[in-house]
């Protein structure tokens, strides 16, 4: 039911997929590429989350508001499926299995937000950056070698740290033999060590 009502659009790196403050008429589903969710705050733009493929981008707006409360920007080349919001809601009303799937996704996302909030406010920069690297390796890329398509400033924004702090900690991780960095390429050499740093905060 969703496929015939899905418009697929390709985005280049830096293109805005969803713009904060605009009226929402579609649900966006990220088919390919990586995207970042960010919110324009009173002082600066806050990166909230990095999204991998096969994830919805507009569910909170679908259920909670008609106005997009955040923006989504392509980190690299993305392919996004836009689904008419009326069709999407009709699918929820008529397909219990689909509704259950969406509810599970929303609950997982909320629980993840709780944990990240605690980590962001209570962990030191080393612990928070260890979390970021582990998420990239285990969740986003599913590989201990990957390319960071986000800047150190964006990573710092994600964990409430300055770009200088991010650079310093990454250098420390390199000297400690935990990671190897070459430009934007990252290779995790000691995942257990990284997990220990994450656990200790």
Q: In what order do the strands lie in the sheet with 26-32?
A: 6-11, 78-84, 26-32, 55-56
Q: At 27, which CATH number?
A: 2.60.120.10
Work out how many domains the chain is built from and give that number.
2
Q: Note the pTM of the prediction, 2 decimals.
A: 0.83
Whether pLDDT at 169 is above 90:
yes
Sign of CA dihedral 41, 44, 48, 52: positive
The pLDDT value recorded for residue 16 is: 96
Please indicate, yes or no, if residue 129 is contained in any of the structural domains. yes
Whether pLDDT at 186 is above 90:
yes
* pLDDT digits 0-9 by tens, 44-65: 888 888 999 999 887 777 676 7
176: phi then psi, degrees, rounded to nearest 5: -80, 0
Residue 49: closest CA among 89, 106, 109, 108: 109
- Domain holding 188, by residue range, is 123-200
Task: Give yes or no: residues 62 and 127 share one domain.
Answer: no
Least-confidence region, from 11-15, 52-56, 62-66, 136-140: 62-66
Task: Give yes or no: residues 22 and 83 share one domain.
Answer: yes
The pLDDT value recorded for residue 195 is: 92
Please indicate, yes or no, if residue 136 is contained in any of the structural domains. yes
Please indicate, yes or no, if residue 67 is contained in any of the structural domains. yes
The pLDDT value recorded for residue 2 is: 59
CA gap 165, 152 in Å, rounded: 9
Whether pLDDT at 86 is above 70:
yes
Whether pLDDT at 1 is above 60:
no
* Tokens matching residue 101: 């799937």
* pLDDT digits 0-9 by tens, 101-132: 888 888 888 788 777 777 777 789 999 999 99
Task: Give yes or no: residues 34 and 85 share one domain.
Answer: yes
CA gap 172, 59 in Å, rounded: 39
- Tell me the percentage of the chain whose pLDDT exceeds 70: 96
């Amino acid at each position: 039911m969703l496929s015939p009502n899905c418009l697929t659009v390709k985005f280049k790196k830096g293109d805005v997929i969803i713009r904060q403050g605009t009226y929402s008429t579609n649900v966006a589903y990220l088919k390919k590429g990586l995207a970042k969710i960010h919110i324009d705050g009173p002082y600066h733009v806050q990166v909230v989350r990095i999204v991998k493929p096969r994830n919805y981008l507009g569910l909170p707006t679908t259920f909670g508001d008609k106005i997009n409360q955040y923006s989504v920007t392509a980190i690299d080349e993305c392919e996004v499926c836009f689904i008419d919001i009326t069709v999407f809601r009709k699918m929820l009303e008529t397909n219990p299995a689909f509704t259950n799937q969406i509810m599970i996704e929303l609950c997982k996302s909320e629980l993840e937000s709780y944990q990240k909030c605690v980590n962001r406010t209570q962990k030191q920069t080393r612990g928070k950056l260890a979390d970021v690297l582990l998420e990239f390796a285990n969740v986003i890329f599913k590989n201990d070698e990957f390319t960071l398509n986000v800047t150190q400033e964006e990573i710092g924004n994600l964990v409430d740290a300055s770009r200088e702090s991010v650079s310093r900690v990454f250098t420390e991780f390199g000297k400690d033999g935990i990671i190897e960095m070459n430009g934007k390429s990252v290779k995790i050499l000691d995942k257990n060590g990284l997990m220990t740093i994450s656990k200790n905060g």
